[in-house]
Structure 1
Amino acid sequence: MPNRRALLGALAAGLILAHAPMAATAQEKLPVVASFSILGDFVKEVGGDRIALTTLVGPNGDAHVYSPTPADAKAMAGAKLIVINGLKFEGWMTRLIKSSGAKATVATATTGITPLEADDDHDHDKKGHGHDHGGVDPHAWQNVANARIYVANIRDALVKADPAGQANYEANATRYLAQLDAVEAEVKAAIARIPADRRKAITSHDAFGYFVKAYGIEFIAPQGVSTEAEASAKDVGRIIRQIKAEKIPAVFLENVTNPRLVERIAKESGARIGGRIFSDALSDAAGPAGTYIAMMKHNISQIEKALAAGPA
């Protein structure tokens, strides 16, 4: 009977498929954990569809003050590769690795980067979180040249963890590095359009040191490199006086800090608020900085728009 033959054929095909090598599934993808959203974007670009990525500190999240969750510990325990920024950015990571029992390889994305010294010339009120960057500035991704080092380190770590994916990882990295070259050219061109005497602005915390050194613009912050330190009245007063004396055109809000401090500085100094820029975290996918490249494009657009026109 035709129906019987069809049934037998289907059963035979099912047996063959059951014993055949399975196609790549989500379960077979390399489980990778990245510590925070910007780093997660780098890992996603290089890893592509060969990895199952978990990012611990998500969009608009502040890694300085993050408290890991049980779900984070579970992701760490199941990972084959953990990618961290290093430079003591994730002060909670060592404890999380230990408490989760993670056996994964830990790759430090900033390996090979020359760190900047942290600017600790601030009279801060400490909150007692115990977060210490050890005298270095961890925000190395703000220089696109450093982002290229991140990508190369991530590529090499993925190849080591998953040698069969080497061609994929290398091709993805090459494609993405070309995109980074293009966005850095945009940043440099935008800075060049800002008059030299207007290349100064105020941000909430000192997250742009690498950007400053690489691209020739000055950011002044009442807080240090960590958002855990509250700016003192002395710091705020000093910056307000500096804005007035040097006619600094704009102050910028950040997505990971409370806007009230910057709003107060703008009100008391007369500087305009130049918009919101992204320092330590991406926006969500619907926002203007859902990827690292989108973040850099958005930031430089806001900076050029606010500074090129001069003081308010």
Structure 2
Amino acid sequence: MNKSLATAVVIAAGFAGFQANATEGGGNAYPNGAEGFMSGALPPQGLYYQNYLNHYTVNKVTDADGDNTGTDINLQATADVSRFIYMTDKKLFGADWGMYTTIPLVHLSGEVAVNGTPVVSSTTSGLGDISISPLMLGWHTPNFHYAFALEVTAPTGEYNMTRFANPGRNYWVFTPVFVATYLNNGFEASAKFMYDFNGKNDDTDYKSGQEFHFDYAVGYHLNNLTLGVAGYYYQQLTGDKQNGQKYLDGYKGKAFAIGPAVKFDTAAGYSVELRYQTEVSTENKPEGDKFWLKFTTRL
């Protein structure tokens, strides 16, 4: 099997969710780049709703050196994600205590070919893997806001090991999360740091490695308008295993993305944020471009 065909088979084995990196099938549970401005500033007590509309287009696959494998790939992934946040009036360790759940609906369509010959193609839609955090703690100072959460992602999405595109990943994921925002005289720097502990896919006996990744945004506030750049960094720190053995060389992935971002806060109390991100450096993963539309309001 040549290198391009081998890569195509790996991707075809399980392109899941609406984000692609290394690990099984090239995907991971969290949609990198989802968060942008003011990510570390938790809101006051109350119930909030956020909607994330994401479209991700993949046009090539890179190897361990970041070079194009030559695999012909055309993947389109669209997701509409609802996130409900409830901030209580309780304090814990001096922090505001909240909780949240994230519910994705995904549509996946794609084809992988080698030397012009299709290897596999698929189109599917459905509920993705739901994430929940019963423990989210936020602290605030005049210029610095930060929060910590423990998040669990359950394998609620549909999964079929013989299908190219799957809404779900078929394993549990446990993620400690740290978010922070620095704001001073209109300047803002925000980041969301995550570390994923992936469970095993029992259908394929495949265990994806541990992943470190963070979203970032840097911008300047002009009254109700924020302008800047946003993106993400991703690196898989431990190797993949299948049937208890290291898969290939561990199939560790890496990615960096950047692009323009704009956020508008309205007098009515809701905000709209637009972001475009292009993956400028990747290893062992599909590479493409993302568009984000994020809406936030208090219920």
- TM category (shorter chain) comes to under 0.3
Higher RCO (CA-CA < 8 Å; seq separation 6+): 2
In terms of Rg, which structure is larger?
1
Structure with greater helix share of residues: 1
Q: Normalising by structure 2, report the TM-score.
A: 0.25
